Amino acid sequence: MAGLLTARVLADGFEEVTVIERDSPSDEPGVRRGVPQGRHVHLLKETGRATLEDLLPGYGEELLSAGGLMIDMLSDFVAYQKGSVLVPGPTRIPAYFATRPLFERIVAGEIPSHAVYEDETAYAFLDVNPLAPGHTLVIPKEPYERLDKVPPSVAGDLFAAIAELAPAIEAAVAAPGGLIAAHNGAAAGQEVPHLHWHIVPRFEDDGAGAIHALFDGVEMDDEELAATAAEIREHQ
Protein backbone atom coordinates (compact mmCIF):
# COMPACT_ATOMS: atom_id res chain seq x y z
CA MET A 1 0.00 0.00 0.00
CA ALA A 2 2.79 2.44 0.89
CA GLY A 3 4.53 1.93 -2.43
CA LEU A 4 1.33 2.21 -4.45
CA LEU A 5 0.23 5.40 -2.71
CA THR A 6 3.70 6.92 -2.96
CA ALA A 7 3.57 6.22 -6.69
CA ARG A 8 0.19 7.95 -6.86
CA VAL A 9 1.59 11.09 -5.21
CA LEU A 10 4.71 11.09 -7.40
CA ALA A 11 2.58 10.68 -10.52
CA ASP A 12 1.47 14.31 -10.19
CA GLY A 13 5.03 15.45 -10.89
CA PHE A 14 6.51 12.75 -13.14
CA GLU A 15 5.54 11.26 -16.49
CA GLU A 16 6.28 7.71 -15.33
CA VAL A 17 6.63 6.06 -11.92
CA THR A 18 7.85 2.46 -11.49
CA VAL A 19 6.90 0.37 -8.45
CA ILE A 20 9.17 -2.64 -7.80
CA GLU A 21 7.35 -5.38 -5.90
CA ARG A 22 8.92 -8.24 -3.96
CA ASP A 23 6.35 -10.75 -5.21
CA SER A 24 5.52 -11.61 -8.79
CA PRO A 25 2.21 -10.16 -10.01
CA SER A 26 -0.76 -12.49 -10.24
CA ASP A 27 -3.96 -12.29 -12.24
CA GLU A 28 -5.88 -13.74 -9.31
CA PRO A 29 -6.48 -11.70 -6.14
CA GLY A 30 -4.85 -13.19 -3.10
CA VAL A 31 -2.39 -12.77 -0.25
CA ARG A 32 1.19 -12.10 -1.35
CA ARG A 33 4.00 -14.16 0.19
CA GLY A 34 5.86 -11.03 1.27
CA VAL A 35 2.89 -9.80 3.30
CA PRO A 36 2.32 -12.45 6.02
CA GLN A 37 -0.27 -10.29 7.79
CA GLY A 38 -2.26 -10.12 4.56
CA ARG A 39 -4.59 -12.93 5.65
CA HIS A 40 -5.92 -10.81 8.52
CA VAL A 41 -8.99 -8.63 8.11
CA HIS A 42 -7.74 -5.05 7.75
CA LEU A 43 -9.26 -1.88 9.18
CA LEU A 44 -9.13 1.50 7.46
CA LYS A 45 -10.01 4.39 9.77
CA GLU A 46 -11.78 7.53 8.61
CA THR A 47 -8.66 9.71 8.28
CA GLY A 48 -7.07 7.09 6.06
CA ARG A 49 -10.21 6.82 3.96
CA ALA A 50 -10.38 10.59 3.54
CA THR A 51 -6.73 10.65 2.44
CA LEU A 52 -7.31 7.86 -0.06
CA GLU A 53 -10.45 9.61 -1.28
CA ASP A 54 -8.43 12.76 -1.88
CA LEU A 55 -5.82 10.86 -3.88
CA LEU A 56 -8.25 8.49 -5.61
CA PRO A 57 -11.75 10.02 -5.96
CA GLY A 58 -14.43 7.37 -5.58
CA TYR A 59 -12.26 5.02 -3.48
CA GLY A 60 -14.87 4.60 -0.72
CA GLU A 61 -17.70 3.79 -3.13
CA GLU A 62 -15.54 1.30 -5.02
CA LEU A 63 -14.47 -0.39 -1.77
CA LEU A 64 -18.06 -0.92 -0.60
CA SER A 65 -19.23 -1.96 -4.06
CA ALA A 66 -16.47 -4.59 -4.19
CA GLY A 67 -17.49 -6.14 -0.86
CA GLY A 68 -15.89 -3.98 1.83
CA LEU A 69 -17.89 -3.10 4.96
CA MET A 70 -18.40 0.20 6.75
CA ILE A 71 -18.82 -0.09 10.52
CA ASP A 72 -18.99 2.16 13.57
CA MET A 73 -15.78 2.01 15.58
CA LEU A 74 -17.37 0.91 18.87
CA SER A 75 -20.99 -0.07 18.27
CA ASP A 76 -20.49 -2.67 15.51
CA PHE A 77 -17.74 -4.80 17.05
CA VAL A 78 -16.06 -5.45 20.41
CA ALA A 79 -12.86 -3.45 20.93
CA TYR A 80 -10.28 -4.93 23.33
CA GLN A 81 -7.42 -2.62 24.28
CA LYS A 82 -4.73 -2.76 26.99
CA GLY A 83 -6.42 -5.60 28.83
CA SER A 84 -9.91 -4.11 28.86
CA VAL A 85 -12.98 -4.13 26.69
CA LEU A 86 -13.90 -0.62 25.60
CA VAL A 87 -17.43 0.46 26.47
CA PRO A 88 -19.57 -0.10 23.35
CA GLY A 89 -21.63 2.71 21.91
CA PRO A 90 -22.11 4.83 18.81
CA THR A 91 -19.15 7.03 17.91
CA ARG A 92 -20.31 8.30 14.50
CA ILE A 93 -16.74 7.57 13.41
CA PRO A 94 -16.87 5.20 10.43
CA ALA A 95 -14.23 2.62 9.68
CA TYR A 96 -13.84 0.21 6.80
CA PHE A 97 -13.27 -3.54 6.98
CA ALA A 98 -11.86 -5.48 4.02
CA THR A 99 -9.12 -7.90 3.11
CA ARG A 100 -5.73 -6.40 2.41
CA PRO A 101 -5.79 -7.66 -1.22
CA LEU A 102 -9.06 -5.79 -1.76
CA PHE A 103 -7.63 -2.53 -0.37
CA GLU A 104 -4.56 -2.98 -2.58
CA ARG A 105 -6.39 -3.95 -5.76
CA ILE A 106 -8.55 -0.83 -5.71
CA VAL A 107 -5.51 1.41 -5.16
CA ALA A 108 -3.67 -0.39 -7.96
CA GLY A 109 -6.61 0.03 -10.30
CA GLU A 110 -7.07 -3.72 -10.72
CA ILE A 111 -10.77 -3.47 -9.92
CA PRO A 112 -12.18 -1.70 -12.97
CA SER A 113 -13.50 1.82 -12.53
CA HIS A 114 -15.28 2.65 -15.76
CA ALA A 115 -15.14 6.45 -15.84
CA VAL A 116 -17.72 8.25 -17.96
CA TYR A 117 -17.04 11.89 -17.03
CA GLU A 118 -14.38 14.05 -15.40
CA ASP A 119 -13.71 17.75 -15.04
CA GLU A 120 -11.98 19.93 -12.44
CA THR A 121 -14.83 19.47 -9.95
CA ALA A 122 -16.65 16.22 -10.68
CA TYR A 123 -15.88 12.60 -11.45
CA ALA A 124 -18.40 10.01 -12.62
CA PHE A 125 -18.10 6.26 -13.07
CA LEU A 126 -20.34 3.23 -13.51
CA ASP A 127 -21.55 1.51 -10.34
CA VAL A 128 -20.05 -2.00 -10.17
CA ASN A 129 -23.30 -3.25 -8.60
CA PRO A 130 -25.75 -1.47 -10.90
CA LEU A 131 -29.47 -1.23 -10.28
CA ALA A 132 -29.91 -0.89 -14.05
CA PRO A 133 -27.68 -0.74 -17.13
CA GLY A 134 -25.85 2.59 -17.12
CA HIS A 135 -26.22 3.18 -13.35
CA THR A 136 -23.67 5.93 -12.70
CA LEU A 137 -22.20 7.53 -9.57
CA VAL A 138 -21.27 11.23 -9.67
CA ILE A 139 -18.97 12.55 -6.94
CA PRO A 140 -17.21 15.81 -6.15
CA LYS A 141 -13.44 15.45 -6.27
CA GLU A 142 -13.17 17.20 -2.93
CA PRO A 143 -14.60 15.06 -0.09
CA TYR A 144 -17.81 16.63 1.25
CA GLU A 145 -19.89 14.52 3.61
CA ARG A 146 -23.25 16.21 3.09
CA LEU A 147 -24.83 18.59 0.63
CA ASP A 148 -24.84 21.47 3.12
CA LYS A 149 -21.02 21.26 3.23
CA VAL A 150 -20.66 21.80 -0.52
CA PRO A 151 -19.77 25.39 -1.57
CA PRO A 152 -22.38 26.93 -3.91
CA SER A 153 -19.92 27.20 -6.79
CA VAL A 154 -19.00 23.50 -6.49
CA ALA A 155 -22.67 22.52 -6.20
CA GLY A 156 -23.38 24.42 -9.41
CA ASP A 157 -20.60 22.58 -11.25
CA LEU A 158 -21.81 19.22 -9.92
CA PHE A 159 -25.40 19.74 -11.01
CA ALA A 160 -24.20 20.99 -14.39
CA ALA A 161 -22.29 17.71 -14.77
CA ILE A 162 -25.36 15.71 -13.72
CA ALA A 163 -27.54 17.63 -16.19
CA GLU A 164 -25.06 16.83 -18.97
CA LEU A 165 -24.66 13.18 -17.99
CA ALA A 166 -28.28 12.17 -17.42
CA PRO A 167 -29.49 12.47 -21.03
CA ALA A 168 -26.28 10.90 -22.33
CA ILE A 169 -26.72 7.89 -20.04
CA GLU A 170 -30.38 7.47 -20.98
CA ALA A 171 -29.51 7.66 -24.69
CA ALA A 172 -26.66 5.17 -24.32
CA VAL A 173 -28.90 2.46 -22.83
CA ALA A 174 -32.11 3.46 -24.63
CA ALA A 175 -33.89 4.31 -21.37
CA PRO A 176 -37.08 6.39 -21.56
CA GLY A 177 -36.37 8.02 -18.20
CA GLY A 178 -34.07 8.15 -15.22
CA LEU A 179 -33.85 8.60 -11.47
CA ILE A 180 -31.38 11.08 -9.97
CA ALA A 181 -30.92 10.75 -6.21
CA ALA A 182 -28.47 11.26 -3.35
CA HIS A 183 -28.47 9.80 0.17
CA ASN A 184 -27.84 12.90 2.27
CA GLY A 185 -26.99 11.67 5.79
CA ALA A 186 -27.09 8.31 7.55
CA ALA A 187 -30.84 8.52 8.19
CA ALA A 188 -31.33 8.68 4.42
CA GLY A 189 -29.24 5.57 3.83
CA GLN A 190 -25.86 7.20 3.18
CA GLU A 191 -23.15 4.57 3.80
CA VAL A 192 -20.07 6.43 2.56
CA PRO A 193 -19.21 9.83 4.12
CA HIS A 194 -18.50 11.25 0.67
CA LEU A 195 -21.55 12.78 -0.95
CA HIS A 196 -22.46 11.19 -4.28
CA TRP A 197 -25.37 11.14 -6.71
CA HIS A 198 -26.91 8.13 -8.39
CA ILE A 199 -28.10 8.41 -11.97
CA VAL A 200 -30.21 5.31 -12.55
CA PRO A 201 -31.83 4.74 -15.95
CA ARG A 202 -35.48 3.72 -15.66
CA PHE A 203 -37.41 1.41 -17.95
CA GLU A 204 -41.03 0.47 -18.37
CA ASP A 205 -41.98 -2.33 -15.96
CA ASP A 206 -38.57 -2.32 -14.23
CA GLY A 207 -40.35 -2.93 -10.93
CA ALA A 208 -38.81 0.01 -9.09
CA GLY A 209 -41.90 2.21 -8.94
CA ALA A 210 -42.02 5.90 -8.06
CA ILE A 211 -40.21 7.53 -5.14
CA HIS A 212 -43.53 7.80 -3.28
CA ALA A 213 -43.58 4.00 -3.03
CA LEU A 214 -40.62 4.17 -0.62
CA PHE A 215 -42.57 5.97 2.09
CA ASP A 216 -45.84 5.52 3.94
CA GLY A 217 -46.52 9.24 3.60
CA VAL A 218 -47.85 11.74 6.14
CA GLU A 219 -51.00 13.84 6.25
CA MET A 220 -50.49 17.61 6.60
CA ASP A 221 -53.15 20.29 6.39
CA ASP A 222 -52.57 23.72 4.83
CA GLU A 223 -51.67 25.31 8.16
CA GLU A 224 -48.99 22.68 8.82
CA LEU A 225 -47.61 23.07 5.30
CA ALA A 226 -47.41 26.84 5.76
CA ALA A 227 -45.58 26.45 9.09
CA THR A 228 -43.11 24.00 7.57
CA ALA A 229 -42.46 26.33 4.62
CA ALA A 230 -41.80 29.19 7.05
CA GLU A 231 -39.30 27.06 9.00
CA ILE A 232 -37.46 26.15 5.79
CA ARG A 233 -37.21 29.81 4.74
CA GLU A 234 -35.93 30.73 8.20
CA HIS A 235 -33.12 28.17 8.04
CA GLN A 236 -31.79 29.27 4.65
Q: Which sequence positions are flagged as catalytic?
A: 196
Integer angstrom CA distances of residue 208 from 137, 185, 201, 203, 214? 18, 22, 11, 9, 10
Q: E strand or H helix at 19, and its extent?
A: none
Round to whole Å and give the CA distance between 83 and 74: 16
Round to whole Å and give the CA distance between 68 and 106: 11
> H helices of 151-221, where?
152-172
Round to whole Å and give the CA distance between 165 and 143: 21
Backbone angles phi, psi at 158, to 5 degrees: -65, -45
> H helices of the chain, where?
2-10, 46-55, 59-65, 100-107, 152-172, 222-234
